[in-house]
Chain A
């Protein structure tokens, strides 16, 4: 059996939405002396493994999965990267 095709889905909060976790971590870093830090952004990495050899089709399927379930377009953006 062939190796699964693997993709990394990165889900990030949309720019402009309040991000209390990022803001709090920014402050903590600045308090530690890293005063050049202007922002910290949290996201989520999801690695999806798929059976099959058609990489282009697999990538299209992963995009569809993001739009339907893995990301919420109201609050999140996503990128898909082949691993």
Chain B
């Protein structure tokens, strides 16, 4: 079983993802965005960074990279696809996930640890976690503010596709605990199949105790386990 990490011009978290997935025993390969054949892979991660300089809109140009045709094909086939930060933005631009990510409520670049609460295990990012579990992982973004129309938000909630919400350390989902103004405190969502997931904070930067938190590990382990199942 192999996991591809897509590398766009301007990606900057690909090695962190490679390292963190490697800690979990996954066989990971970095794949340049011009690649048009991912047939040997069972899962793909779109890492954080500033693909194509974030020009026009975050993810707007990256979604047309050749590798994205393969990502769409794998997504349709039920294979696990994970977008982290900029990768989440790309998945929204590509219409593989609903909504969009816009500038943070306070127009600040946020680089700090945040708390998120597991809301649902119906996605490949949270399947090994427990509902109600509070995780401490870092957020590192300017356009992290998730928006969607009310009908889309209602549908996401009703179908268990809101995977994580920003919360306080005790797990209370409040406006004060919402770092960037995201609609309904949403930090991570899934597509209807649960195999395409997007998360704004960075689990790969909280995958070992030496980094100050290993809370992101359960999320990455969920993804690796889903990739293992998909490869069978």
Give A residues with C-beta under 8 Å from B: 17-18, 20-21, 24, 69-70, 72, 74-75
B147 contacts A75, CB within 8 Å? yes
A72 contacts B60, CB within 8 Å? yes
Per the CB 8 Å criterion, the residue count for chain B at the interface is 20
Q: Is B204 an interface residue (CB 8 A)?
A: no
Q: Do A18 and B64 contact each other (CB < 8 Å), given the known contacts A72-B57, A74-B92, A74-B148?
A: no
Q: Contacts of B92 on A, CB cut-off 8 Å?
A: 74
7 contacts between A and B (CB under 8 A): A18-B147, A18-B181, A20-B103, A69-B56, A69-B60, A72-B57, A72-B60
Q: Do A24 and B107 contact each other (CB < 8 Å), given the known contacts A17-B147, A74-B99?
A: yes
Interface of B is mostly: loop
B105 contacts A18, CB within 8 Å? yes
A-facing residues in B123-169 (Cβ within 8 Å): 145, 147-148
A72 contacts B100, CB within 8 Å? yes
Give the most central of A20, A74, A75: most B CB within 10 Å: A74
B57 contacts A20, CB within 8 Å? no
Q: Contacts of A18 on B, CB cut-off 8 Å?
A: 102, 105, 145, 147, 181
Q: Do A20 and B147 contact each other (CB < 8 Å), given the known contacts A69-B60, A69-B64, A75-B100?
A: no
Closest to A75 in B: B100
Give B residues with C-beta under 8 Å from A: 56-57, 60-61, 64, 92-93, 98-100, 102-107, 145, 147-148, 181
Nearest first, the 8 A-B pairs at minimum CB distance are: A74-B100, A75-B100, A20-B107, A20-B105, A72-B100, A72-B57, A17-B147, A75-B102
Contact partner of A21 among B93, B107, B145, B181, CB < 8 A? B107
B56 contacts A70, CB within 8 Å? yes
B103 contacts A21, CB within 8 Å? yes
Closest to A16 in B: B149
Closest to B60 in A: A69
A72 contacts B93, CB within 8 Å? yes
Q: Contacts of B98 on A, CB cut-off 8 Å?
A: 74
Q: Contacts of A75 on B, CB cut-off 8 Å?
A: 100, 102, 147
CB distance from B9 to the nearest CB of A (A): 17
> CA–CA, A17 to B100, complex, Å?
11
CB distance from A56 to the nearest CB of B (A): 26
Q: Do A17 and B102 contact each other (CB < 8 Å), given the known contacts A69-B64, A75-B147?
A: yes
Q: Contacts of A21 on B, CB cut-off 8 Å?
A: 103, 107
Q: Contacts of A70 on B, CB cut-off 8 Å?
A: 56
> CA–CA, A24 to B107, complex, Å?
10
